[in-house]
Amino acid sequence: MAQGSAIEDVLGDTPTPLMLDRRARIADLVRQRGSMRVQELADLFQVSTVTIRTDLVQLEKDGQLIRDRGGAVAHVQRSALVAFDLRTSINPDAKRQIGQAAAQLVCPGDTIMMDAGTTVVEMAKHLQPAAPLTVVTNALNVALELRALRDVRSLILGGTVNYETFGTQGPLAEQDLGNLVVQKLFLAAETVDLEAGITDSTVEIAQVKRAMIRASKQIILLADSTKWGRVGFIKVLPLHAIHTVVTDSGLDADMRRTLERMGVAVVIA
């Protein structure tokens, strides 16, 4: 059994950031694929089948899926807004602090790109109101946060809207990115691992992230400590290609030292 599952056994029903994050990802996967089996989820998240069944019971109570024999199926009438709200509720203080620290890395006159993600939305809330800036984003909610900043020019990427992330994706978004060059990319991540790097569970999201990376001179990763030490099944970027990581004090000290040995600057918010 994985360490996270053992910790949860001790804590009982007390929600933890790890538990909430796993449940958000389970809800996303079931919604994307239509159905998932208990054993499949247990293998993917490296927890026991008992833990997964407990997760599915709670997610069904929340109206995010329907349990069936051996797994769960998508609740087709459930709004994707719930999945985003659930992710927003995970580690909110750390996300706010990371967003504030990331905003300090922006200089007047910069041309930056902001990825779709709950932590990046927090960053948008902390940008200096009087600083001239050009922002490219695929995130509708980031663009809305920027509307009050009179000296910020916002460019929204085209494409298909994913209402679970409020981000645009697909060929149109990737085509737009092929014509752009920005100084700094503030990148969100679903999962981060020292060996696998940044990974994701959705092909379309991974593809638009890669296109953003190709259009950017400097990569700044915003990822709270609940994202680390976990692997999705689609690789986005190796960690040695990142310039700066902004995270919280929960990041494992060995991970931090390894990142610094790679030449990655680590900012603890």
Percent of the chain with pLDDT over 70: 89
Band the pLDDT of 38: cuts 50, 70, 90. very high
Same-domain check for residues 210 and 187: yes
The pLDDT tens digits for 154-206 are 999 999 988 888 999 999 999 999 999 999 999 999 999 999 999 998 889 99
| Rounded CA separation 267/269 (Å) | 6
Q: With contact defined as beta carbons under 8 Å apart, do 3 and 11 qualify?
A: no
Same-domain check for residues 212 and 118: yes
Boundary-marking domain end, from 86, 102, 123: 86
Band the pLDDT of 83: cuts 50, 70, 90. low
Q: Please give the pLDDT value at position 223.
A: 95
Axis-axis angle for helices 38-45, 49-61 (nearest 10): 110
Same-domain check for residues 25 and 145: no
Q: With contact defined as beta carbons under 8 Å apart, do 248 and 97 qualify?
A: yes
Same-domain check for residues 166 and 117: yes
CA separation, residue 73 to residues 24, 221, 233 (Å): 15, 33, 21
Query: Is pLDDT of 2 > 60?
Result: no
Q: Please give the pLDDT value at position 200.
A: 92
Q: Please give the pLDDT value at position 253.
A: 94
Q: Please give the pLDDT value at position 135.
A: 97
User: Mapping DSSP to helix (H, G, I), strand (E, B) and coil, where does residue 100 land?
Assistant: helix
Q: What is the CATH number of the domain that holds 216?
A: 3.40.50.10470
Work out the burial of residue 120: count CB atoms within 10 Å of its CB; fewer than 13 is exposed, 13-18 middle, 19 or more buried. buried
Same-domain check for residues 58 and 102: no
Query: Is pLDDT of 80 > 80?
Result: no
Tell me the average pLDDT across 140-157: 93
Average pLDDT, the chain: 88
Same-domain check for residues 39 and 168: no
Same-domain check for residues 54 and 109: no
Range of the structural domain that residue 56 is part of? 3-86
Give the count of alpha carbons within 13 A of 266, CB side only. Answer: 22
Same-domain check for residues 174 and 119: yes
The token pair at 31 is: 């919604």
Same-domain check for residues 57 and 131: no
Encode 83-113: b = buried (16+ Cβ within 10 Å), e = exposed: bbebbeebbeebbbbbbbbbbebbeeebbbb
Same-domain check for residues 65 and 142: no
User: Mapping DSSP to helix (H, G, I), strand (E, B) and coil, where does residue 269 land?
Assistant: coil
Tell me the average pLDDT across 255-266: 96
Boundary-marking domain end, from 19, 52, 86: 86
Q: Please give the pLDDT value at position 89.
A: 67
Q: Which helix (H) or strand (E) holds 219?
A: strand 216-222
Same-domain check for residues 174 and 213: yes
Tell me the average pLDDT across 136-145: 96
Query: Is pLDDT of 128 > 90?
Result: no
Q: Please give the pLDDT value at position 28.
A: 86
The token pair at 226 is: 């609940």
Query: Is pLDDT of 234 > 60?
Result: yes
Pairing of strands 167-169, 160-162: antiparallel
Number of domains in the chain: 2
Same-domain check for residues 124 and 219: yes
Query: Is pLDDT of 112 > 90?
Result: yes
Q: Please give the pLDDT value at position 75.
A: 64
| Rounded CA separation 55/32 (Å) | 17
Boundary-marking domain end, from 35, 52, 86: 86
Q: With contact defined as beta carbons under 8 Å apart, do 189 and 221 qualify?
A: yes
Q: Which helix (H) or strand (E) holds 1?
A: none
Band the pLDDT of 13: cuts 50, 70, 90. low
| Rounded CA separation 192/219 (Å) | 14
Q: What is the CATH number of the domain that holds 67?
A: 1.10.10.10
Give the type of residue at 179: N
The pTM for the full model equals: 0.73
